Amino acid sequence: MAVRISTKVLFTVIISCIMLTSIIGYAQENQERTKAKANYELATRWSYDNIKNSIYDMRVRPNWLEGSERFWYKFKTSQGTNYYIVDPARRTKDHLFDNEDLASKLTVLTNKPYNAKHLDLKNLTFNRENSAIQMTVDSIQFRYEISSAVLTILDTVKKARKEKRWRNYSPDSTVVVFARNHNLFMMKADDPDSVEFQLTTDGEKWYSFASNPGDTTMEKRVRASASWFRDSKKFHTVRRDLRKVSDLWVINSLSKPRPKLELYKYQVPGEKYIEQHELFIFDVDKKNRVKIEADKWIDQSIGGNYMTGRGIYHGKSSDKIYFARRDRAWKKIDLCVGNTETGAVKVLIQEESEPYFNVMDMHFREVNDGDDLLWWSERDGWGHLYLYDKEGNLQNRVTSGAFHVAAISKIDTAARVLYLTINGKEDGIDPYYNLQYRVGFDGSGMTLLTPEHATHNMDMSESRKYFVDNFSRIDMVPEAALKDNSGRVLMELEKADVSRLIEAGWKMPETFIAKSDDGITDQYGVMWKPFDFDPEKKYPIITYVYPGPFSEAVPKTFSPENRNVALSQLGFIVVSFGNRGGAPWRGKYYHTYGYGNARDYGLADKKAVIEELAARHSFIDVRRVGIYGHSGGGFMSTAAMLVYPDFFKVAVSSAGNHDNNIYNIWWGEFHYGVKEKKVKKGKDIDEGEAETVFEAKFPTNWEIAKNLKGHLLLVTGDMDNNVHPANTIRVADALIKAEKRFDFMILPGKRHRFGNYSNYFVKMLWDYFAEHLIGDYRSGSDIYINDKKN
């Protein structure tokens, strides 16, 4: 007799079977995970402390000889340290001396043994004729004649007297400036009979001429906030008025016998009272001061944070001073020149940029005694150089195109040629690699000098005829070559010695390109795998993050000491890549992407790239995703857990600025925005009268703490006076109120970078990911030293 089963019942049975199979499979997988062990032995073997003696010199640092094209350098390999002299014109590289011979002669003169492979030579300098060198060995000064190889003792070097930090010497070393009780003083240098001359009498705490405006030593000499002109005739100071700025505190709980309160001024976004700037010039001979008439905008900045050269620039002479001033919203900036005798100011260049002017990459150079001025701007969406005359009239663009001028490496004024560091100009080369170019002041003759597919550093001779090119990639051993100013390779100088790393099992990390969340923008990343990698296994994936906006945490040079090397050895795939709103080297649109979206702007890209990598590689387990970062990365890693709680499962967030409303004013108002508004002063004031106020409000992590689903470790130093511990404590408070489980670690007495507790923190980070991504829970109170501990 046939049994008829309805379609509905059959469907229910099938679904039940599928679910049961999934549950059994998950249970089996979970059981396997609980048996898994993180490879602490391999991770420990590749920690920096255990490989540092296998890492030798990674670059050549040329010391160019005065009045010559030659240079010397020292270079350390597994065979010891050697000293070389290079003659670019002859294309020769020779040992500066025979190590064995020099060691023997040192022993003869001192009766002490010396290791020829590791001669510890200090203060090595050439004489004026470049025929002999002086050096210090074990506090004894020697002279070595290069041609005859004769070594003689000159003198016993007296123990160097610790230089008193309060002395701010003029470039010619004849005058010293210092501060006392917040006022400026001047005296002749190194003259016991010199009489102090008091230059100011109006200094006070928080409105000071001292480098530390909160100094309380009163009668003690301290460092002055002063910068000398090259001719030693004058110096300038930017006086900051902090008297109305609010206080902030941290507590040194380790202070004996009682905890100690540490007070400092700290400005946060949107506050009414922020520091005010004045620019003064002091004349050494006249012993007077001149105020530069720089006032223009409410709450403006004269030079200041993030600006290259602090935004104050000296010319060849002291009759003028260049400075950049900006409005509080960071949208308007003027390049000005001030007359140091009268204080009169002339505006040379005016810029207005939305959403902000990128002062971090701003470059200015006075050339040919001020007849030519080079200025950097993103006015067309890319960072480029423009040539102006001394009156501020635009002469021509120097560079143009869809690329970024990152730096002026050198200037050849006679030939009217610039040597530039540029990102993103060459197709098929990672836009984050620094490439070196030459170009005429008029924009002609743009030439690539460093075509090797790597990131490059240029160190050029004073004549501008030759340069040493150090280049490497994360997956390429560093090399150094001598080139001429057309980019022609004259000599291969060195290749870093990684032999001991290779012998120990070192494997190169891999680079990759994946799409951002928009499906268009490429992200360039690095992947570290365990050195015992098995392609048949499934590995959790961890991403190390830093959101920018002025940089991205993606190493581009060979970095065996990178923390992710050891972390991956535990049994993880570790990746690092950028996000839109990150580094400025990819154009204005890219680096301003996060403006007005202080918390979430980079998270979708992080998720999208990891998903693409998991689809591409079967060894990545996208169900086990970890994330970690420090400072801005601490902020981002926690935000990832709260914005995408079903995707990111584990985070370690250290020193995060989780609430940018209480982080420093420059970071928040610059990168994320501040609004300038006009408001009425009072009820009895006419409608037309109003005052200017500034408002800023940013999204925080604590506001969405209720979203947490995974495992979160929050870490902060309790004396962090950069990112205040309140940033982390507010998240902890919100998580407690939301009745969430989380982990919280305070590092006693530590500032932003954790100091000598960094290794302890790293070990706790290893444990946290091993526990929650691998299932390796270890007992005992001692943290591991090797796989036998814990």
- Going through 474-600 in order, the beta strands assigned E by DSSP cover 476-484, 489-495, 510-515, 522-528, 539-544, 573-577
Residue 778: per-residue pLDDT:
85
Q: Which of 324, 389, 310 is nearest to 357 (CA)?
A: 324
pTM over 0.75, yes/no: yes
Pairing of strands 384-389, 394-397: antiparallel
Residue 308: per-residue pLDDT:
84
Tokens describing residue 300: 């403006």
Query: Furthest-apart CA pair in the chain: how many Å?
Result: 124
Q: Which of 357, 356, 374 is nearest to 366 (CA)?
A: 374
Residue 688: per-residue pLDDT:
57
Exposure string over 303-335, b if 16+ CB within 10 A, otherwise e: bbebbbbebbbbbeebebbbbbbbbbbbbbbbb
Peptide bond into 645 cis (omega under 30): no
Identify the H or E element spanning 40. helix 40-45
Give mean pLDDT in consecutive 10-residue pieces for the chain, a chain of 790 residues. Answer: 51 50 49 74 96 97 95 98 97 97 96 95 95 94 96 80 83 96 95 91 97 91 96 97 98 96 97 97 97 97 90 94 97 98 98 96 94 97 98 98 97 97 97 98 98 97 97 98 98 98 97 98 98 98 93 94 97 98 94 92 97 98 98 98 98 98 94 90 61 94 98 98 98 98 98 96 97 92 55
Q: What is d(CA 240, CA 207) in angstroms, rounded to the nearest whole number? A: 6
Residue 45: per-residue pLDDT:
96
Residue 281: per-residue pLDDT:
98
SS3 606: helix
SS3 59: coil
Distances (CA, A) of 182 to 205, 217, 417, 480: 6, 10, 45, 49
Distances (CA, A) of 22 to 226, 450, 539, 646, 775: 71, 56, 20, 19, 20
* Order of strands across the sheet that contains 71-77: 63-64, 71-77, 80-87, 92-95
Residues contacting 218, CB < 8 A, separation 6+: 180, 181
Residue 551: per-residue pLDDT:
86
Q: What is d(CA 70, CA 67) in angstroms, rounded to the nearest whole number? A: 9
